[in-house]
Structure 1
Amino acid sequence: MKRLLTLLLLALAFAGAGAKEAAPLAEDPVVEARLLAISEEMRCLVCQNESLAGSRAELAMDLRRELRTLIKQGKTDAEIREFMVSRYGDFVLYRPRISPMTYLLWGGPFLFMVVAVVVLLVYLRRRNRAVAGEVQLSQEDERRAEALLKGEPK
């Protein structure tokens, strides 16, 4: 038992001896910072609900590699966005531009809300008219109804 414990302690002591210093994640931190900023604004075309920066899909990795190349070529952020939109359409942007093609996308939620409020108001008015339109009992009918409820004969 002592030997086993000694061997285990020796193994743990020498386990760190073979470790190497971690390699930097990026060749150029400035390029990577720009890449991250741009790719956070782009949608992964495979995952669709994830940003390009956070996606682990192969296509996302290829697109990040392409973005990195464009950054190294000296393209501006606007030029890179335009390149991506021309290639993949407005869908690639998390916040698509307002254009005739995206009017429904931007205005749709507000339009839906207006339609829902109108439908609700129409429903409530019809319901109130139905309640208000109920027949009112005459005093004689009310007396007879009270007598029936008390169990008195007609």
Structure 2
Amino acid sequence: MKCYFDWNTQKEIKVVPGNYFENIALAGDTLCPDTAGRDEFLLAGVIPPAKRLAGSGRSNRYSFADILGAIEAAPSIGIILPNDLSEISFLINTDIILDPGLLAASLSLDIATVSGMTTRIPLNRSDVRIDWQSRGTFVVTVPIM
């Protein structure tokens, strides 16, 4: 199954030059390198609610020259997953959100398939697990459709 994983804002998030959001899927305790995503902001501004903060499977840097309207990250690249997965975990490293409570309140994960079906999972849902590794480093586990 091919899926696209986009990290979206649930409320306004401020970014300043040098802020970044990195994410990579985990298979058990093993990192899956093809899934790594990094978004770096070279500008100051606010990402409005329901806009993409970051994506998986690619690396992008954003400056004023790249942004014509509201600040929003580029879409993710599709990731091939086994069909029998019931959940997926991501290792997140960021200097934008440092606290697990703020992460849960601020973001949702959109999971889209090639057929066009999209599921939005707010990180403050009861079936989402957030393991706080250190300031700005989390393991987020979400159910798969």
Q: How high is the TM-score relative to the length of structure 2?
A: 0.22
Structure (1 or 2) with the larger CA radius of gyration: 1
State the TM-score, normalizing by the size of structure 1: 0.21
1 or 2, which has the higher helix percentage? 1
Name the structure, 1 or 2, with higher relative contact order (CA <8 Å, separation 6+): 2
